[in-house]
């Protein structure tokens, strides 16, 4: 898979209060599914499509994510440690394990910064020379999907607008019943909702969107997206397959069960 030039921004700084059972000790993107942080699952999906440069916006317990990324290679696979003076300047050699060829930038964006503010604070890192060349990808650090990122990027290029959002219809939390009189004609356990498209993140954004964000107190999902929509600059890529957000403990348990059962649609990578 050829490496793509578009950088990937991931917002990973929220407190995650609705998953307090886990997030009192670690940030939500570090909550594990199948023994790996959900952030890793998201990055693996992007990597499957050739994206390799990640800009992670940190906030709540950001040091936890930093430590994980620093330790990631050393804690996965085999090591040889040269305790004395090292070997060719190397004290630790890694071998026996293939690691993804990622470049990961870990950016402190503030403990209380809102989503729009975190995006705004990434601009000088995404475009370090001040030249706003080409779009960037953006997603949240708690949602997984099997969205076709090539098709998403192609769709964005096709319409020429500033922003593309992936629209999804999540599975209903409860079973759906269709009636004929009082007879249950159809029962479906946790179906995909028949209507009600929502923001599934997985954005493609032109750098001009930074001009729509006023301050670190700006919620991306409010004024910026509302204004982009009002000006005709926001397009929706309709994703009909799997999407899930790990917002609560119930969501986490469901994703873990899917992984354990070998039925994890978001696992688009081979290994």
- Which residue has better confidence, 15 or 127? 127
Identify the CATH number of the domain defined by range 8-260: 3.90.550.10
pLDDT at residue 194 in the model: 54
Confidence category of residue 94, pLDDT binned at 50, 70, 90: confident
Average pLDDT over the chain reads: 90
Spell out where 121-224 has E strands. Answer: 136-140, 143-145, 163-168, 176-180, 183-188, 198-199, 203-205
Confidence category of residue 59, pLDDT binned at 50, 70, 90: very high
| Arithmetic mean of pLDDT, 37-52 | 97
Residue-wise pLDDT for 210-265, tens only, equals 999 999 999 999 999 999 999 999 999 999 999 999 999 999 999 999 999 999 99
Ranges of each domain in the chain: 8-260
Rounded Cα distance between 250 and 255, Å, is: 9
| Arithmetic mean of pLDDT, 160-181 | 83
Contacts for 19 with CB less than 8 Å, ≥ 6 apart:
28, 31, 246, 247, 248, 249, 251, 252
């Amino acid at each position: 898979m050829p490496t793509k030039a578009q950088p990937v921004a991931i917002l990973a700084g929220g407190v995650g209060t609705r998953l307090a059972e886990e997030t009192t000790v670690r940030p939500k993107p570090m909550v594990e599914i199948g023994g790996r942080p959900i952030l890793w699952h998201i990055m693996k999906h992007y990597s499957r499509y050739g994206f390799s440069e990640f800009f992670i916006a940190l906030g709540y317990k950001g040091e936890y994510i930093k430590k994980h990324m620093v330790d990631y290679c050393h804690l996965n696979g085999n090591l040889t440690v040269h305790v004395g003076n090292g070997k060719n300047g190397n004290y630790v050699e890694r071998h026996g394990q293939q690691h993804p060829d990622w470049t990961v930038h870990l950016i402190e964006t503030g403990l209380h910064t809102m989503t729009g503010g975190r995006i705004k604070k990434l601009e000088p890192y995404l475009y370090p020379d001040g030249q706003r060349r080409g779009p960037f990808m953006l997603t949240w650090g708690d949602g997984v999907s099997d969205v076709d990122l090539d098709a998403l990027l192609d769709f964005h290029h096709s319409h020429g607008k500033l922003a593309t959002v992936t629209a999804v219809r999540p599975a209903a939390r409860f079973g759906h019943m269709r009636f004929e009189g009082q007879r249950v004609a159809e029962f479906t356990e946790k179906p995909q909702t028949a209507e009600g498209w929502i923001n599934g993140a997985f954005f493609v954004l032109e750098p001009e969107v930074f001009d729509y964000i006023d301050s670190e107190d700006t919620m991306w999902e409010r004024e910026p997206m509302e204004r982009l929509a009002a000006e005709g600059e926001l397009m929706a890529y309709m994703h009909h397959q799997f999407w899930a957000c790990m917002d609560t403990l119930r969501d986490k348990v469901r994703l873990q069960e899917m992984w354990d059962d070998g039925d994890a649609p978001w696992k688009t990578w081979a290994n």
